[in-house]
């Protein structure tokens, strides 16, 4: 199924600002659908003077009319005239008589979607049309809550037609835990007095410690009385509970957390009241706090592992300096370098929440370490990196960093021994694999005579054993050596 952006841009009429406006409106489609007890569809014009559906939301409070998603469908003939009239006139158009859809009586309302607030005397210019499809087959005597919800929906439809909704000043943060109409709804008048509170909203405030009726009370005074003394609260809280700003905030009392979202209601720019949605998110906030604690613990573990590895590397360095044997000193130095390379990965992991690392940053640090330690007295090595490794999970980053440490070390110590030259590391990444070539301008080795030392064994074990990749040495006497590594990336989570 095509996305809203793809469908809108395919019509060749809309700007980036208009697409953003439609995205925001579609983001509140569930709220509109639940308040109106109806299906909500957003239409945009097509080049051939028709309309195409770019978003569809079904109500959670009533039976849907469309059992199959109609996104991508053209407007049906029985709605086309009504939708076209709303689009061209900038006025809300209601169906004159019940419309029949698959043997079900329905009522259709077409609302022009206007992006900029309409000033007095201005002719609104629509960028699309929103239609409300109400199922009349389940008609029953409406409750006071249903009447209030419908009134709120009508107010929002009027704001959509006048360019006052959605509000661009509202933050576009994560919607996880955002209050919904069914979670609890409070209707405020222009003075912030509660004129209606749904049972779920009243229950949420009862859990916070307010035991009276909300209707007729100032929500600001109610919340002020709930908050514990000397309690630190969000600075936006007074503005939100007064119904003056389209923001979200939390109220905490008695171990209960209730999330609030305010939608100011306007009539052609004049504030007439507000809708306050509320939701008990106590358990959700506890889970979030536990995740934060666990993340902090994991970062601290990585930090301590890094410190311990650096301590081990320092001990190896001290031991190497005091060892009279040249061979033993070289072995200790190589061990120190390997431990330090692993420490770099843990240092990077300790600085973020995700268990992934920017391997380009890691390898830059490792490369400096290797070049400084491996270069001998008569060896001058210049290192250069081409391409990008990208982001890798820690289970890939550690063995790859260690393997590349060995390859660059071998290139400097053996390929460029006693001479000046260059070591180039070339990284090429696709969705399926990561290819890395380590190329030096050293003396090279006879083709097929690959070293059998500890470093080569480590590289084979890490690349073939741990990463499931392949490694190949290409050598040519007098022209240097090139080592090619290919690592499959099919096991990496694409959402990471």
Dump pLDDT digits (tens) for 239-270.
Answer: 889 999 998 888 998 889 999 999 999 998 89
428 sits in which H/E element? strand 420-429
Predicted pLDDT at 232: 66
Longest Cα–Cα distance of the chain, Å, equals 101
Predicted local distance difference test score (pLDDT) of residue 193: 95
Q: 3-17, 185-199, 378-392, 432-446 — which one is most confidently predicted on average?
A: 185-199
pLDDT score for 102: 73
For the segment 302-329, the average pLDDT, to the nearest whole number, is 82
pLDDT at 32 over 90: yes
197: helix, strand or coil = strand
CB 160 within 8 A of CB 130: yes
Confidence of residue 352 (pLDDT cuts 50, 70, 90): low
Q: What would the pLDDT profile of 113-132 be if each residue is shown by its tens digit?
A: 998 877 766 777 899 999 99
pLDDT at residue 293 tops 70: yes
181-280: CATH topology is: Beta-Lactamase (3.30.450)
**In terms of Cα–Cα distance, which of 308, 337, 304, 306 is closest to 320?**
337
Residue 133 — very low, low, confident or very high, per pLDDT cuts 50/70/90? very high
Q: Where are the beta strands (DSSP E) in 198-355?
A: 248-253, 256-267, 270-280
Place of tokens 């990208």: 390
Distances 477 to 50, 237, 327, 375, 414 between C-alpha atoms, Å: 71, 74, 27, 21, 13
Return the pLDDT at 447: 56
Confidence of residue 496 (pLDDT cuts 50, 70, 90): very low
Q: Which residue has the higher pLDDT, 130 or 17?
A: 130
> Quick one: pLDDT at residue 129?
97
What pairing do the DSSP bridges indicate for beta strands 104-114 and 93-94? antiparallel
The correct CATH number of 354-496 out of 3.40.1010.10, 3.40.630.30, 1.10.260.40, 3.30.565.10 is 3.30.565.10
39-45/51-57 β-pairing: antiparallel
Tell me: pLDDT of 414 over 90. Answer: no
Check residue 495 and give its pLDDT. 41
pLDDT of residue 412: 76
pLDDT of amino acid 139: 66
What dotted CATH number matches 4-162? Answer: 3.30.450.280
80-91: average pLDDT = 94
pLDDT for the residue 175: 59
- Cα separation of 295 and 30, whole Å? 33
Please say if the pLDDT value at position 149 is more than 90. yes
- Indicate the pTM of the whole model: 0.67
Left (φ > 0), alpha (ψ -120 to 50) or beta: where does 422 sit? Answer: beta
Give me 424's structure tokens: 């180039």
Buried b (16+ CB within 10 A) or exposed e, 27-38: bbbbbbbbbbbb
Residue 169 above 50 pLDDT? Answer: yes
* pLDDT bucket at 275, cuts 50 / 70 / 90: very high
For the chain, what is the mean pLDDT?
A: 84
- Sign of torsion over alpha carbons 210, 211, 215, 218: negative
What 8-state DSSP symbol labels residue 182?
G
Task: Give me the pLDDT at residue 417, please.
Answer: 67
Q: Bigger pLDDT: 116 or 376?
A: 116
Q: What is the pLDDT of residue 39?
A: 95
**Residue 109 near residue 83 (C-beta atoms within 8 A):** no
Q: Which residue has the higher pLDDT, 348 or 269?
A: 269
């Amino acid at each position: 199924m095509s996305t809203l952006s793809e469908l809108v841009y395919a019509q060749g009429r809309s700007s980036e600002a208009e697409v953003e406006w439609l995205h925001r409106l579609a983001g509140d489609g569930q709220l509109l659908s639940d308040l109106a007890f109806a299906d909500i569809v957003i239409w945009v014009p097509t080049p051939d003077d028709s309309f195409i559906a770019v978003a569809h939301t079904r109500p959670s409070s009533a039976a849907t009319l469309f059992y199959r998603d109609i996104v991508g469908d053209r407007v049906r003939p029985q709605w086309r005239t009504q939708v076209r009239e709303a689009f061209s006139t900038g006025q809300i158009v209601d169906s004159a008589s019940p419309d029949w859809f698959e043997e079900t009586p329905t009522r259709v309302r077409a609302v022009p979607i206007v992006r900029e607030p309409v000033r007095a005397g201005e002719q609104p210019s629509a960028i699309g049309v929103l239609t409300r499809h109400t199922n009349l087959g389940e008609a029953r005597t409406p409750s006071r809550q249903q009447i209030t919800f419908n009134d709120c929906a009508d107010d929002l439809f009027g704001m959509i037609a006048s360019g006052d909704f959605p509000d661009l000043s509202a933050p576009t943060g994560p919607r996880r835990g955002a209050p919904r109409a069914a979670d609890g709804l409070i209707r405020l008048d222009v003075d912030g007095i509660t004129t209606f509170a749904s049972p779920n909203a009243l229950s949420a405030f009862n859990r916070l410690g307010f035991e009276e009726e909300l209707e007729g009370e100032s929500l600001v005074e109610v919340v002020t009385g709930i908050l514990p003394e000397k309690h630190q609260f969000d600075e936006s809280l007074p503005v939100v509970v007064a119904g003056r700003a389209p923001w979200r905030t939390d109220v905490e009392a008695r171990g209960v957390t209730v999330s609030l979202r305010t939608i100011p209601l306007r009539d052609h720019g004049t504030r007439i009241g507000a809708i306050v949605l509320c939701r008990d998110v106590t358990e959700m906030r506890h889970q979030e706090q536990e995740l934060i604690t666990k993340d902090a613990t994991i970062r601290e573990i990585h930090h301590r592992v890094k410190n311990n590895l650096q301590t081990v590397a320092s001990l190896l360095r001290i031991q190497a300096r005091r060892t009279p044997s040249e061979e033993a000193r070289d072995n200790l130095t190589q061990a120190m370098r390997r431990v330090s390379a692993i420490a770099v990965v843990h240092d990077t992991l300790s600085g973020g929440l995700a268990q992934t690392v920017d391997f380009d940053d890691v390898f830059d640090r490792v490369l400096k370490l290797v070049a400084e330690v491996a270069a001998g007295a008569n060896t001058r090595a210049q290192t250069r990196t081409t391409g990008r490794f990208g982001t890798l999970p820690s289970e890939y980053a550690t063995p790859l960093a260690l393997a590349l440490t060995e390859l660059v070390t071998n290139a400097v110590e053996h390929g460029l021994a006693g001479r000046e030259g260059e070591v180039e590391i070339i990284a090429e990444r696709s969705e399926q694999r990561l290819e890395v070539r380590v190329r030096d301008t050293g003396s090279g080795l006879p083709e097929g005579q690959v070293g059998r030392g500890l470093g080569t064994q480590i590289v084979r074990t890490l690349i073939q054993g741990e990463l499931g990749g392949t490694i190949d040495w290409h050598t040519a006497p007098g022209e240097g050596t090139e080592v090619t590594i290919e690592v499959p990336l099919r096991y990496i989570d694409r959402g990471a």
